[in-house]
Every structure is written in C-alpha cells, then in structure tokens.
Amino acid sequence: MMRQIGQVELVPDSPQTDDSLKVCVHSGPGCCTSKMEESYMAAVRSETQQKIRSYSFELKYLIAGQSKAYQDTFESLVSFTSNLTSTLFDSAYSSLASECRPHVLHLFNDINRHLLGDPHSSLEHAVGSFFNELFPLVYRRLLNPGIGHMSSRSFSSSSSSHEDCLRMTRQDVSPFGPHPGLLVSGLSRALGVGRTLSRLLRLAGDVVDATEKAALSRACGRGLVRMQYCSHCRGLTLIKPCTGLCLNVMRGCLVGISELAAPWGSLVVLLQRLAATLATSNNHNSMELALLAVRNHVNDAILHAQLHGPRITAIVEKVCGSQAATPVMISGHPNTSHVTSPTARMTQKPSKRRSMTSLSMGSDAYLSLQLQSQRSFPLKGSRGDKSRSLKKLSREFEGSIQRYELFFSELPEMLCESEMEVEQHTCWSGQDVVESYASRVVGSALKAQRDNPEITVRNTDPVLRAAKQRLEQLTQELLVDLDWAREAKRKGEEDYGGSAEAERGSGDDCDDEDGCEASGINTADLSSGRHPVITDRALLHPPHHHIPPHVNSPPLTPLSGSASMLTLQLLHLSLPTFLLLLSPW
C-alpha cells in the first residue's frame, strides 16, 4: 500500500497455494495470487524506469544547460559581428547600405544556423548567396552608377532580368576575386569546432532521451519481480536481494544501455577535447577573429571589383547585355555632383585619385581605431551582460562532462547500490534466503548475457540500437570532418613510430596503465571505408591549429599604367587597417 502497487483486496486473508503463479512459484503456501503478480510486474517496471530517469536527470540537465549556454554565446558573437559588418556599408559604401543590410542579416543568420549545428546548413551556399545578391548592387551602384537606376515603381522587367543574369553569372565573372572562397575556408576552419560541439551536444541529449524512453522487456519484468517482490509472497518484506542477483538482473534489463557505454565514452572524450579546444586562447580567438574578418573580406571583395571595374563591365555586357545610363545623385550627399564612371575615375589625375582613396579608407581606419580602444573581447561583457565568456564556459563544461564518461557502463551497479545494505549476513537469491549468491555473475555486454542465469536476453531494444548506431556513425563522421583522425595517426607515428605502434596495438604485453587501449585511431579502417575506433588519449592531445592571417590573401593583379599606383596604395592602406583591427587581441 505504501508503494501504491494495487488494491489491498488483492492480498488473500491467509496463505494459500496458487498454481497459476508464473514468477513467484513456491511449493508451499504463499501470500501472492496471479493478479498480484501482474500488479507487481507493472509496478516494478515503472519503478525501475523512474530510477533510471532520476539517475540521468543531472546528466540531462547538464547537457541541456550547456547547449543553451553555448547557443546564447554563439548568437551573441554572431550578432555583434553582423552589426560590425553592417557598419562597413554605412561608413564606406553608403549607396549600398539600405539594400545590403537585409543580405548581411541573412548571411549571419545562416552562419549562426551553421554554428548551432543545423545539418542542412552550408557555409559555401550562404556565402555564395550573399555575394550573388551583392554583385548586382555593386555593379549598378559602384561600377556603373548610372545604369538602370530607377525607382521601384518604374523598375522594368529588363532590369530585373539583367540583375538575375548578374546573379547567375557571378561565379563565372568572378568580380570579387578570391575573397568569397577565402571567407568560406576561413569560417569553415574556425567554426568547425563550435559547430561540432553543438551537434554532439544535441546528439548526447537524444541518447539520454532514448535511454529514458526504452521499454523494459517482459523477461526483464519477471526478473525484477523475482528479485524484489517474490520474497514478499513468503512474508519476507524486509530482506534485500543478493548483490549478485541484482547485478545479473539489472545487467540483463539494461543490456541495451550498457551497449551504449563504449560509443558514449568516446563521445564524452570528444566533447572534452572540443571544450578544451575552445577554452585555449588560440582557438578561442580564432572563432571570434574569423567572424570579425567577414567585414574585411567583404570590403576587400568590393575593392577588388572596383579595381577591375572595366574588365567586369566588359564581360557583363557580353554575357548579359548593356543597359542605358541615366544620371543619378548619391542619396545622403547633396553636395556631390554626378557620379563618374569607372573609366572616368581611372583617367583622373593621380593626385585626385590618391585623395579619394585616402578619404574612402579613412572611415575604415577610424572604425579600426574605435575597435582598438576596446579593452576586452566583445563577449567578455560587463556585469549586466548576460552572455558568458566562451573560454570560461568551455572550461566549466570540460570538467563537468568528464564525470559522466562511464555513466552507462556503471548504471546497473548504481541501481543495485540503492537496493543494497552495507551490512547484510543473509540475502534473497530469487528463490530463498541464502548467505551468499551461488550463481555466476555475468558481464554487461550482450555477448556475456547469453550465460545470464536470471534473464534470457535475445536482443536489445530497437530504440537503443538505433541510438547506438547513430552515436557511432555521427561521432566518427565528425572526427573525420575535423581532420583529427589523420592528426592522431600522424602524432602516433611521430611519437612512437610505426613498428612500436603495431606492437602496442597487439595488446600482448601491455597494461591498461601503459595507455595501450588509447593508442589512437585505426587508420586502416579509414582507408578501407570502415568506421575507425576512437580512443581516448589520442583525442585528448590534439595538434594545435593555426588559422592563416587574412593578409595572406593572393595579391591583386596591378592594372597597367598609373592605375598600378592606385593598387599599391590600396594594399598599403588596407594592411595597416587590418593590423589595427587585430591589435587589441
């Protein structure tokens, strides 16, 4: 009645023999009936699942909390760099600002989705779409400002077709040079760790949910009833089950969860390494610098288009045709006369070109000086800022998740500990009161359960099998995506040599304390297309990544004649500007 198992009327008034009993079979009279057995069966399965949920609650809470904290931190960083990129158009390209702002917002929304682990997101597609939309604006506002500039009411179908042609031919025309590709590669390298961490946290949450939703088999229910309630049928309500009995029953019931132990341990080690990577200053800064560099890449791409304006215009007119030019005034600059064409700008006197270049670059230098005046990272924040430091968050998570590396392998033992007493001279064996459990105690693996004397285990729960398969597959795929499998192989070859690694992998004369089971990754599996085996120590000692600086971009090809001086001036001015942007960090 205290456990609310069933109605008291189900209990007989006096001991009796019930031949219909299937679990708590006893030769003599007892206090149980077949209906009581059914109530015990439902109660014990519910109680066990509740215990599993109670033990996994802290782990589930940790994963959900860290996932939300990383999400907020990433969104805060992306929002800051999105606003910073928008200021580029406000300060240096005011004629593009209003029309480019939605495209900038859309680009950073896609970057945020990618960073949060959206499996359908693609940085290449996001960056490509942004520059596809930017090209018509740059072509019509900067390269040929008098072409087709008209109000939305008078926007003709020919103008719309011309813009569509510009979008579709942007990659072939290549008006922005190498900068779109450099932006994609830089973001992919720097954001890879954060994206992988987001995906693995979501996977970890799904695995914990699967363990809570997995159903206990009928054979498991009978074993649990025999362990916990058959003693009640004999009037023995205070005696505890033997430790060996409990281990056999729990390991048989949770064999599907125990099968998750190995891939789960690899997942936890990978999460630790990802958190440690984000916590180190170099990798912590590389993510922020890569996002901050979006502004520089966009600026350099537009400068590249301006420097090669005549060539780009000639190609576009051949592919998409030409449009009639109409005089236009730049909005927001009432004192500015008609905008000159790229050809006219190239034929201006050098002194005038130099002054225009210095003026256009002056706003960038001013903004860089403003950034330099900041004393800390944007994400350090003030006391009122809710965003947390990425470094501090990662350090806390690295220490917290480590405690759960063996969670699924130790769960049967944890459940049994709650049933055991410290001092116990006799115990319940499932059949009678004994001094010690006489049957063999089997291991947790599915293969070992064939010899389980308490429960017949034929297979594991399909929900847990699917969770294990997904856990193994995604973990290995992300390991290869991060290029850590190749690094582990190279590190093993450098540290130990091929022959030593082969000897260590044989495991003949090696002790666990020597670290043999954590020698690295089976690269033969990688070459053959099979999933490699992750081992802990190889993951915890990664080679350091170094993001190449933005200034290593391929140089622009100088134009002929006096225009080459303009190219050198732009390069001379853009390098100090970029260094000023990086100098606070």
pLDDT of residue 422: 53
Hey, what are 401's tokens?
């998740």
- State how far the Cα of 164 lies from the Cα of 140, in Å rounded to an integer: 13
- State how far the Cα of 211 lies from the Cα of 54, in Å rounded to an integer: 12
pLDDT of residue 257: 93
Q: Which helix (H) or strand (E) holds 129?
A: helix 123-138
> Is the alpha carbon torsion for 328, 330, 333, 336 positive or negative?
negative
CA distances in angstroms from 527 to 200, 269, 499, listed in the order given: 24, 23, 19
Q: Cβ atoms within 10 A of the Cβ of 81, count?
A: 21
pLDDT of residue 156: 52
DSSP 381: -
SS (H, E, C) 465-479: HHHHHHHHHHHHHHH
- State how far the Cα of 424 lies from the Cα of 238, in Å rounded to an integer: 12
> Is the alpha carbon torsion for 514, 517, 520, 522 positive or negative?
positive
List, in order, residues 6 or more apart from 155 with CB less than 8 Å away.
none
pLDDT of residue 125: 95
pLDDT of residue 70: 94
Q: How would you class 241 by CB atoms within 10 Å of its CB: exposed for 0-12, middle for 13-18, buried for 19 or more?
A: buried
- State how far the Cα of 400 lies from the Cα of 394, in Å rounded to an integer: 10
By C-alpha distance, which of 274, 314, 79 is closest to 194? 274
List, in order, residues 6 or more apart from 362 with CB less than 8 Å away.
none
Q: How would you class 494 by CB atoms within 10 Å of its CB: exposed for 0-12, middle for 13-18, buried for 19 or more?
A: exposed
- State how far the Cα of 77 lies from the Cα of 437, in Å rounded to an integer: 59
Q: Show pLDDT as tens, one digit a residue, over the chain (585 residues).
A: 777 787 777 788 888 887 788 888 888 888 888 888 888 998 999 899 999 999 999 999 999 999 999 999 999 999 999 999 999 999 999 999 999 999 999 999 999 999 999 989 999 999 999 999 999 999 988 998 876 544 444 445 556 788 889 889 888 889 999 999 999 999 998 898 899 999 999 999 999 999 988 888 889 999 999 999 999 888 888 888 999 999 999 999 999 999 999 999 999 999 999 999 888 866 656 888 899 999 999 999 999 999 999 999 999 988 888 765 544 443 333 333 333 344 334 334 333 333 333 333 433 433 343 333 333 334 443 333 434 588 889 999 999 999 999 999 999 999 998 766 556 688 999 988 998 899 999 998 888 988 999 998 888 888 999 999 999 998 888 888 777 755 555 555 554 444 344 433 433 434 333 333 333 334 334 333 334 444 444 444 444 443 333 333 343 333 333 333 333 344 444 444 444 444 444
CA distances in angstroms from 173 to 297, 315, 323, 346, 494, listed in the order given: 18, 7, 18, 21, 45
Phi and psi at 433, nearest 5°, equal: -85, 125
DSSP 434: E
- State how far the Cα of 513 lies from the Cα of 531, in Å rounded to an integer: 26
Hey, what are 577's tokens?
């500007």
pLDDT of residue 136: 92
CB 537 within 8 A of CB 273: no
CB 87 within 8 A of CB 152: no
Hey, what are 253's tokens?
């019931």
pLDDT of residue 362: 39
DSSP 278-343: HHSHHHHHHHHHHHHHHHHHHHHHHHHHHHTHHHHHHHHHHHH----B---PPTT-TT--PPPPHH
Q: Which residue has the tokens 């044989």?
A: 506
pLDDT of residue 100: 93
Tell me which amino acid residue 210 is.
A
Q: How many CA atoms lie within 13 A of 132 on its CB side?
A: 15
Q: Which residue has the tokens 């290593």?
A: 552
- State how far the Cα of 15 lies from the Cα of 30, in Å rounded to an integer: 5
Q: Which residue has the tokens 């813009």?
A: 163
pLDDT of residue 237: 85
CA distances in angstroms from 559 to 343, 386, 565, listed in the order given: 13, 50, 9
pLDDT of residue 308: 93
